[in-house]
Amino acid sequence: MELICPAGTPAALKAAVEAGADAVYCGFRDETNARNFPGLNFSREELRAGVARAHKYDVKVLVAINTFARAGALDVWKRAVDDAVEAGADALIVADVGVLDYAAQRYPDQRLHVSVQAAAANPDAINFYVKAFGARRVVLPRVLSVAEIAAIAREVSCEIEIFVFGGLCVMEEGRCSLSSYATGKSPNMHGVCSPASDVHYLKRDGQLISRLGEFTINKFSAKEAAGYPTLCKGRFQTEYGAGYLFEDPVSLDATSMLPELQKAGVTALKIEGRQRGRAYIERVVRNFRQTLAELEGGLPAPVGGLVALTEGQSTTAGAYRKSWR
């Protein structure tokens, strides 16, 4: 299985390449990229240099152009496609059908991957992208069980990529409007979910209170590890008491499930974390590189080695292991 690693900056790309990534994914410093945070991403010149560096190590570069184009501004997304192809990208990760159509028509030899933001989660949807645009791979949303992934893999003619570590989005990506509701900014259009500019922390009565925009997302006691405030991982008050309605503020770690995922037909394993620094990237990539080598040698996958790097110092296998709440 191919190991796909995040590169939010040129320094992170260098770290991922040297730590053993098979491929890195990155994006431009604009709204065409679903990790459009300040201080992250690549200029056109940086991307060209990054591709050249990666290719020296036989590492592929996948460029995420994975937000939905604004009406009347498609040229911004077209230019991103043109510039990524010119820089030598090995694949483009795209969500918008108009952008996919442009890339497929303009660059018929360019490898295209369907972004997780497209929310393609069944054989009919995936096969549409394959037939209409020649997509070679689909990145599945993090809401499917291993059995569902295996069923999809049997019925599609493209490669399957899934997330195995990092931030866990518990919604079907591309269809979530919670961040937009709370802050006016959305990963679907603006490339930001729960943007840092809208995050606030307060201390009151011995508790740490996390807020997103005007909404209180969570309250933590002094002994609790505090997670980043996203609405889908907030603690809600209901008639049954206070608790996490959708998912706890934890990180995804599917290390123990790699043999099952391989049997299910997964082609590529994706690490989330383009907003993370070099030290995080290097440690996580080296850990997964070693784990895959041990699995190839018939050894069991080590578990728990990265818990210190996770949200709230806690992990979950997400929907891979359990049903929806």
> Given a cut of 70, is residue 325 above it in pLDDT?
no
Q: Mean pLDDT throughout 119-133?
A: 97
List the chain domain ranges. Answer: 2-168+250-320, 178-244
Residue 129, Ramachandran bin (φ over 0: left; ψ between -120 and 50: alpha; else beta): alpha
Which of the given ranges, 184-188, 249-253, 287-291, has the highest pLDDT on average?
287-291
Residue 64, Ramachandran bin (φ over 0: left; ψ between -120 and 50: alpha; else beta): beta
What does pTM read for this prediction? 0.92
Q: What is the pLDDT of residue 187?
A: 75
pLDDT of 236-288, one tens digit each? 888 888 888 877 788 899 999 999 999 999 999 999 999 899 999 999 999 99
User: In which band, very low, low, confident or very high, does the pLDDT at 185 lie, cut at 50, 70 and 90?
Assistant: confident
Q: What is the pLDDT of residue 35?
A: 87
> Given a cut of 60, is residue 316 above it in pLDDT?
yes
Look at 20 and 300; give whichever has higher pLDDT: 20
CATH architecture of 2-168+250-320: Alpha-Beta Barrel (3.20)
